[in-house]
Amino acid sequence: MHPMLNIAVRAARNAGNIIARACEQLDLVVAEQKGANDLVTNIDKEAEQAIIATIQKSYPDHCFVGEEFGVITGENSDYQWIIDPLDGTTNFIKGIPHFAVSIALKVKGKLDQAVIYDPIRGELFTASKGAGAQLNGYRIRSSKAKELKGTVLATGFPFKQKHQMDAYMNIFQALFVHTADIRRAGSAALDLAYVAAGRHDGFWEMGLKPWDIAAGQLICQEAGVLVTDFAGGNNYENSGNIVAGSARVVKEMLKEMRPHLNDALTR
């Protein structure tokens, strides 16, 4: 395992331990509204602090971008860690056991290492640039689906962009009639990890943030998944609109989505 990936795994497990312990006493979790339809808990913040502290022990001069604490600058700006300490906070608050820790590392602006850790199932998805993707140390590959028919897709509702609900529902309907089924589980990081592992044949969501996407993007790409924005380009990190799956599935998804996109969704 790459030394920096090893540290990321250690950080993810430390955060996962905090989250798992908190699951046993959810009545003590303090939740607050940080934005429209956006919750944060004391556990999100504690887990993010644990991640940063673990990484800083080995790399004190690195930079960080975290969902809860924003940007932490370091002397060595070539290394930037992108952290979502608890992706699926609403699930966590409600006691729904589907959420994850997500950590990615960019080196000189390029994704290099990635970890997504599900502390409830004990599933650790990892990837190093050019070295493939793993689940608990075993190589994973994406679905071999060659068409949209018969697929199981994953998605997330635009709960932070409800003004896009009409466009979203039109896209949902256009895709749903061609698939076996569609899942909405509440964690974009795990959705992407599941596409990488072949559990889902494809995924789309709008309005995501860099920390929602970064680790899952690299894990997907290292597992043979095509990742694009809604226009078939590479602007998903900025737009937050992402599609992932095999090349043929993504091609068909984009074809079905295109008639229902507005200008805001194709930027």
Residues 33, 102: one domain?
Answer: yes
Structure tokens at 21: 């312990």
79, part of any domain = yes
Q: Alpha-carbon distance 23 to 15, whole Å?
A: 13
125/166 same-domain check: no
Question: How far is the C-alpha of 182 from the C-alpha of 86, rounded, in Å?
Answer: 23
For residue 175, is it within any domain? yes
- What pLDDT score does 93 carry? 92
- CA 267-104-38 angle, 5° bins: 60
> Which residues face 41 on adjacent strands?
31
Run of H or E residues at 101: strand 100-107
Are 133 and 160 part of one and the same domain? no
The Cα–Cα gap between 46 and 70 comes to 14
Q: What is the pTM for the complete model shown?
A: 0.95
Q: Do residues 10 and 122 share a domain? A: yes
Domain that holds residue 239: 152-265
Query: Does one domain contain both 7 and 134?
Result: yes
- Does residue 130 belong to any structural domain of this protein? yes
CA 178 to chain centre: 25
Per-residue pLDDT at 40: 81
Q: What is the pLDDT of residue 156?
A: 96
| Number of alpha carbons in the 13 Å side-chain half-sphere of residue 245 | 25
Instruction: Give the DSSP letter of residue 30.
Output: -
Counting DSSP H helices and E strands in the chain, the numbers are 8, 15
Same domain, 130 and 182: no
- Secondary structure class of 93 (helix, strand, coil): helix
Cβ(148)–Cβ(252) below 8 Å:
yes
Asked whether residue 33 is domain-assigned, the answer is yes
**Pair of tokens at residue 223:** 């597992």
190 vs 116: CA distance, rounded Å:
7
User: CB–CB of 245/142 below 8 Å?
Assistant: yes
CA distance 97 to 120: 6
Per-residue pLDDT, 118: 98
Q: Is residue 147 part of a domain?
A: no
Residues 165 and 244 in one domain: yes
| 144 inside domain | no
Q: Determine the pLDDT at residue 193.
A: 98
For residues 223 and 179, what is the distance between their CA atoms, to the nearest angstrom?
22
Residues 203 and 86 in one domain: no
CATH code for position 242:
3.40.190.80
Looking at residue 37, its pLDDT comes to 58
Q: Are residues 135 and 190 in the same domain?
A: no
* Last residue of one domain, picked from the residues 80, 110, 139: 139
Per-residue model confidence (pLDDT) at position 267: 73
Nearest to 103 by CA among 124, 122, 83: 83
Q: Could you tell me the CA-to-CA distances from 99 to 61, 109, 162, 186, 255 in Å, in that order? A: 29, 27, 22, 8, 31
How much is the pLDDT for 153?
A: 98
- The number of distinct structural domains making up the chain is 2
Indicate if 133 and 13 belong to the same structural domain.
yes
For residue 146, being part of any structural domain is answered with no
Rounded distance, CA 219 to CA 233, Å? 19
| pLDDT for residue 266 | 78
Same domain, residue pair 218 and 100:
no
Are the beta carbons of 244 and 250 closer than 8 angstroms?
A: yes
CATH number assigned to the domain comprising residue 119: 3.30.540.10
Digit-by-digit pLDDT tens for the chain (267 residues) are 799 999 999 999 999 999 999 999 988 888 887 766 567 889 999 999 999 999 999 999 999 998 888 898 889 989 999 999 999 999 999 999 999 999 999 999 999 999 999 999 999 999 999 999 999 999 999 999 999 999 999 999 988 788 889 999 999 999 999 999 999 999 999 999 999 999 999 999 999 999 999 999 999 999 999 999 999 999 999 999 999 999 999 999 999 999 999 877 877
